[in-house]
């Protein structure tokens, strides 16, 4: 998500994101949390990095937010069912359950046995 008018002209990608939201998958989670976030932290316009868990709802729904503070400091917050998230940079607040509306989680049958 961008709040920079210059990005509206781009047809390929956003150069000045304000918020980046990643839907975590087992195959990319390590990269999203590690090297990718390391790269994203270097983007001056980025204020919030959101990680949305896509694993089985039987464990718990969860959203993690990294918010830029002074200099190179990032604050981490974790949210779960019954809580609301706030993205201050874009003045957005939502109950976490709303983010998961319509999502059908696949369950691993070996876990249920």
Number of domains in the chain: 1
The tens place of each residue's pLDDT in the chain, 113 residues long, gives 555 566 566 666 677 889 999 998 889 999 999 999 999 999 999 999 999 987 755 567 899 999 999 888 999 999 998 999 999 999 999 999 888 887 776 655 444 44
pLDDT at 10: 62
d(CA 86, CA 24) in angstroms, rounded, equals 19
Residues 6+ apart with CB under 8 A from 59: none
Question: Judging by beta carbons within 10 Å of its beta carbon (0-12, 13-18, 19+), is residue 32 exposed, middle or buried?
Answer: middle
What range defines the domain where residue 94 resides? 5-112
The values of phi and psi at residue 105, to 5°, are -80, 135
52, 24 contact by CB (below 8 A) = yes
Determine the Cα–Cα distance for residues 7 and 112; give it in Å rounded to an integer: 46
- Which parts of the chain fold into alpha helices (H)? 29-33, 35-40, 96-99, 109-112
What per-residue confidence (pLDDT) applies to 110? 46
Among residues 85, 80, 90, 73, the alpha carbon closest in space to that of 19 is found at 90
Model confidence, pTM:
0.80
């Amino acid at each position: 998500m961008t709040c920079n008018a210059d990005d509206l002209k781009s047809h390929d990608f956003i150069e000045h994101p304000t918020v980046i939201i990643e839907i975590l998958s087992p195959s990319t989670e390590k990269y999203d949390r590690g090297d990718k976030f390391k790269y994203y932290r270097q983007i001056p316009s980025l204020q919030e990095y959101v990680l949305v868990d896509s694993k089985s709802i039987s464990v718990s729904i969860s959203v993690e937010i990294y918010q830029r503070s002074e200099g190179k400091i990032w604050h981490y917050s974790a949210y779960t069912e019954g809580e609301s998230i706030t993205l201050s940079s874009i003045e957005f607040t939502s109950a976490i359950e709303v983010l998961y509306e319509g999502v059908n989680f696949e369950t691993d049958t070996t876990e249920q046995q």
